[in-house]
Structure 1
Amino acid sequence: MSSADERNALDFAPAPDSLIAQAQRLLREYPDGPPRPSWHPFPEPPGPDDPESLQDDGSGRTLIQQGTTRQTVLRGLELLEGKAVPSDVPMLKLIGLLGFASVQAAGLLRTIPGAAHDLIWLAEHAPFGRSRIVEHLLSNTDAVVRDWVLSTPHHLMQGELARKIAERCQISRKLAGLAVEPRLWDQAGNLLVAMASTRTYRCEIRRYEQATADYWHWITLAARMPASLDRAALLTMVGQDVTTGPAAPIIEDDATRMLAAINAVQYDREVARAEQDHGWEWPARTAARLIHARIRAEPSLFGQWDCRLSGCTSWPSDVDSVRLSFMYPAERPPFEDPRVRFGFVIGVDGRDPQAVAQEFVASLGSQDPKLSAEIIGGRRDEAERLGLRYRKPSRWMY
């Protein structure tokens, strides 16, 4: 979507209380896409819209632009079928951001000449309908559109759609070419993984006539591709499919030999590099990693209190806190004997992660952690049998 198109969507002026106005607010707040899988957080009014106040001309546009209930908006989209024109594109993209209208809006955009890139924008911003939009664009020959279709993530499509993409885009012919770029190799591997999936109880790989040739070419080309973490994952998935998975009968035993010929050193180096890359961490996640490493290196920090570390992390849903849990007693007792789990919620709140970690570790040397941690696992009677005072957790909430 061009910057001009983006402005058109934001400059669109719907009725203030309408659902499409809510979609516009979402676009301003989340310009890069939906913040969560299900995207319709706004309540609807208790009753239906007043038909007399929405004087539609029969095209459905007024119902879409002013409707405050799903029923009204969906009726408007239904009326617009066969009448959509280029000036409707910003309206359809906006209303398509709301999950209940995504599929219908995409279907109407499909009928508007030159709206293929707008369909791509909707697919990447709406919570639903991506696979349907991919199917809409299968026959489009625009280079950008074709590349986007080929790049559909394998977890977002069923095997049948992956097979259609491979056939329509002639992946087999491209893999057999003299010059295969890494991006095409990635796309082909992604499609092979999707076709071999059994998630829908129907594996498409045996229905794909070029499967044997494509696997051979793809595996042969693997050694020429620059190593990356994503390619290591792709090789692992394809390797499983062709050795012990649904694709094993297609290329038989030679697949193992061919996969073994790939230079594993490059990939080992890439995985090791990724393991040491902590640039993606938020401060509490860094503090959690430092605390965990220190306690693993010095088990006596908890062991002196007859405790054992259970876990230490920072939840994406609570990015300002470290959550550490530990067991007491340290050793697992017989089944009939009590054991409880404790938890700390350690606030970071903008402090240096290194300082947070050092402060917590230092506290373990001077005070029994059971005195300040909350009991987050185990029954009240178990705590009492261990001589502990049971308190309902106040900070550790799942």
Structure 2
Amino acid sequence: MLAELLASLLTAPDAGRAADELHRRLAELNGPPGSVLHVALGVPIEDPGRARALARHLTRTGTGLSAVGVGLALLARVGEPEDVPYLKVLGQVRDLHLIAVQALDAVDPATAALVWLAQRAGAPAVRELVDALAAGAEPAVPRLLESVLREADGLGPEPARRVAEAVRLAELLRTDGVGETWLVAGAGRLLCRMSSVDDYWSQVRLCPAAVDLYEGFVAHAAVLPPTLDHCALLLSVAQELHSGPSHLLAWEPGRREALLGALKSVLERPAWRAVLVDGEGRRAEWARHLAGQPLGGTSGRLRIEPAVLDPQRRGIVEARILIDGRPLVPEAFGRGSADSPESLVDSGALRATAEPREVRLAEAYCTEGCCGALYVTVRRDGDHVVWSDWSRPAAPSLAPPLRELPEYRFDASAYDAELVRAERDHTWTWPARRTARLIAAGLRDRPELLTRWGARLGWAGTDFGRPDLTAVVLKCRTAPTIGRHGEVALWQHIAWYLPEDGTDPEDRAAVALRRLATEDPRTYGEGVAGG
């Protein structure tokens, strides 16, 4: 009903009378403002000029949240620069803030960023920067921006994007003779945070200036001193350009590959190479491994690449799936990362048989129960393996629409060979992670080690906050108890941690498996009761 009403009013010649009619009808309908906005964002616009006239009447003379919200939703689609002053004011109203920012995003991203940050800037340094920008205190901006960029690793993905937009960072990087290392390094840190999947959508794909930001950062990367921090930064940016959401930006043909080549050229300079060769510790090992990977190109139709982030940046390990060289999960899902190599590769989940199997490829960063997951059905069909019957939630309203997913057909021999290669690849692991993989493999080969105790493997990996700690989570039955419905045995989750002790992962895994062969795991883990 509301959609039909809006469609008719959008073509009305008299915007004032149309606005009055909308006010009256909205009062009669008394629907929640969120539902009204959803309809207004989706109603077809046949005459942008008349829709704009109605939107301006509603935003400048409207008397109710729903009516003004309709005007903002329309301006998000047909707004022009002259609407910016009104959108800035309405962006200060709590219930209209987000839709006003969305309308500003379409016409003035820098102002949109300031309005957003004015409401949501958490870090004190960001708040000071926003206040200076809003007040036009230009002399103070460089000092405040430097403070923010030096701590950019602590920003969330959207605050990182908004800071870059608010200060017009892409334009700053185009300035001739940029030599401030804090500015170049800060730009790289913001790009890494923007491309993170720790959000409802990858913010780098929502940033109109993202391509220019990458261009500017890479153009000035050589001014950075060759340190392990800067090696890690260049490698992290390259990793995201290769297989992360940034791969999917609107690149000119060959341009992304050229940027990756330029980053590689910097890292291959003698002083930078020396840092990589001589560095010690897990971060240096991670950097050496990533520097040796063929970032920029892949062979074969299907490629599965474990992606490990800089050890100084907390994050999950995901099995990035590239089909024809393009990262599947950011393009087909976007709400979170791909599942881990242990879940997708080691478990055999992606192995294809004649019996179709539904496989979860990715989960929303906030959990599947909140925002869903990406599923595909895998089956063998003669000389081919087929991925079909996709299942996923719709993209968030502020994100680009998800592309349609086809049925993918892979040569079965090449598909099987890629899975075998991925299963045997331990080069990306570190001792604690390799220990976990070996324990899980041992339990798959000898299931009796757990079944004798009435237990199951939940997962094996490394602790999220302590990556050098091997974590094994088991599900065990508790002793039966008498409840309202008779005797019942609950599942108990046992968290078993194995601290690093300097021994080889193979030896540590063997010791753990021997212990499971002789001792009930309920006696030595950290138990958490469950249903």
Given the two structures, how large is their TM-score scaled by the length of structure 2? 0.31
Q: Which one scores higher on RCO, CA 8 angstroms, separation ≥ 6?
A: 1
| TM-score computed with the length of structure 1 as normaliser | 0.39
Larger fraction in strand:
2
* Structure ID, larger Rg: 1
